[in-house]
Amino acid sequence: MGEEGTGGTVHLLCLAASSGVPLFCRSSRGGAPARQQLPFSVIGSLNGVHMFGQNLEVQLSSAKTENTTVVWKSFHDSITLIVLSSEEGISELRLERLLQMVFGAMVLLVGLEELTNIRNVERLKKDLRASYCLIDSFLGDSELIGDLTQCVDCVIPPEGSLLQEALSGFAEATGTAFVSLVVSGRVVAATEGWWRLGTPEAVLLPWLVGSLPPQTARDYPVYLPHGSPTVPHRLLTLTLLPSLELCLLCGPSPPLSQLYPQLLERCWQPLLDPLRACLPLGPRALPSGFPLHTDILGLLLLHLELKRCLFTVEPLGDKEPSPEQRRRLLRNFYTLVTSTHFPPEPGPLEKTEDEVYQAQLPRACYLVLGTEEPGKGVRLVALQLGVRRLLLLLSPQSPSHGLRSLATHTLHALTPLL
């Protein structure tokens, strides 16, 4: 399992399916945006071979060369997305989900009608520029993981019930059922209406807020790829503290002037200390002092039914490997166990008549990178119990024979949180 993302280059192409006209090309190198563009001849060849297969009723979905993985995906017979990656150890699963997120981002900011009924290519190209910031964040080395897991990145605040009560009161005062509190692209608390949002907008909206430049207040038109792909809604954001924002999804009312600053100050000024306690939760996800074993270097907890997740590679301060390497290792391990060991998610286990097969689904697996010798390499362990799946990245000091016990104990400790 390679360290995905180390020095690799990713090219993302978007084309009009019927004409093959390129709509945009975005690139990244080593997790950072890159200006390098693919030659038009290469773009034409990649699209041409895909169209050739379609004409023969052959669906070309992926291909591999010595150092590049290519994945194609068409949406609504109107948009073709192609991604090429030279990242070591990259999985087709990750690239397929990347393309799903990219198309979701396009619908979120442009609307499905503009993408499925292309009247003016040049105008569409111009409109799609609004999605570049969000799409580039998928190509980069993000601290979030919802793009891969298709679950909402969450954090656990120290005084969650207090914030939840304030959020409900604010939602009632503004007359909208869709309100959330977001820190660095992760949901701190949300109303029941917000949690009922479908996929992918439940993942995309907080990610969008986290990817935009800081602003005191915004009134942003968005479409909901699942719930309302052709009729826009308003996404209102109000900054409470740096990187901590209040998000409302609503129709024509209320006006932004009704919320800012009077109502905002009246509802949230008394909660300044609990709000400040949310700021460190971005990278850490868990409250300070939460008891975790000292061998844990990173964790990913998924609630497959609620479609929420906790992801952190900074539970206990500075240790090797670096946070960037830990994220790559956990991402790689997630794709490995998802594609080979555990059933697809999010969602409950698929029903099957083969009960023997169901009984043989693994509940745990582990991987040792480097060597089995104590003090060398790293350990990764995955455990699934019911609707929860836990992935842990552990230090080399952690003995292999104790991995499942440690994972089970950690999952039981985390269960009340998510």
Side chain identity at residue 86, one-letter code: S
Query: In DSSP terms, which residues pair with 13 in a beta bridge?
Result: 25, 82
pLDDT digits over 263-276, tens only?
A: 888 889 899 999 99
More confident residue, 355 or 199: 199
Is the torsion defined by CA of 197, 201, 207, 212 positive or negative?
negative
Query: In DSSP terms, which residues pair with 178 in a beta bridge?
Result: 249
Is the torsion defined by CA of 140, 143, 147, 149 positive or negative?
positive
Domain ranges of the chain: 10-140, 157-284, 296-341+361-415
Residue 372 pLDDT level (bands cut at 50, 70, 90) = low
Please give the helix or strand (H or E) that residue 98 lies within, else none.
Answer: helix 92-110
pLDDT digits over 138-180, tens only?
A: 998 899 999 999 999 999 999 889 999 999 999 999 999 999 9
In this structure, the strands spanning 152-154 and 308-312 are parallel
The fold of 10-140 is Beta-Lactamase (3.30.450)
Q: What's the whole-number mean pLDDT along residues 275-286?
A: 91
Residue 244 pLDDT level (bands cut at 50, 70, 90) = very high
Residue 100: pLDDT over 50: yes
Side chain identity at residue 122, one-letter code: E
Please give the helix or strand (H or E) that residue 62 lies within, else none.
Answer: strand 62-64
Q: What is the CATH number of domain 296-341+361-415?
A: 3.30.450
The single residue listed with the structure tokens 């697809």 is 344
Q: Contact, 189 vs 152, CB < 8 A?
A: no
Please give the helix or strand (H or E) that residue 214 lies within, else none.
Answer: none
Q: What is the CATH number of domain 157-284?
A: 3.30.450.30
Neighbours of 55 (CB within 10 A): 7
Contact residues for 270 (Cβ-Cβ < 8 A; gap 6+): none
The single residue listed with the structure tokens 């993942």 is 203
Q: What's the whole-number mean pLDDT along residues 320-327?
A: 88
Q: Do 157-284 and 296-341+361-415 agree at the fold level? A: yes
pTM above 0.75, yes or no: yes
Looking at residue 177, its pLDDT comes to: 94
Residue 340: pLDDT over 70: yes
Least confident of 48-57, 80-89, 122-131: 48-57
Verify cis geometry, omega within 30 degrees of 0, for the bond prior to 261: yes
In this structure, the strands spanning 9-16 and 79-85 are antiparallel
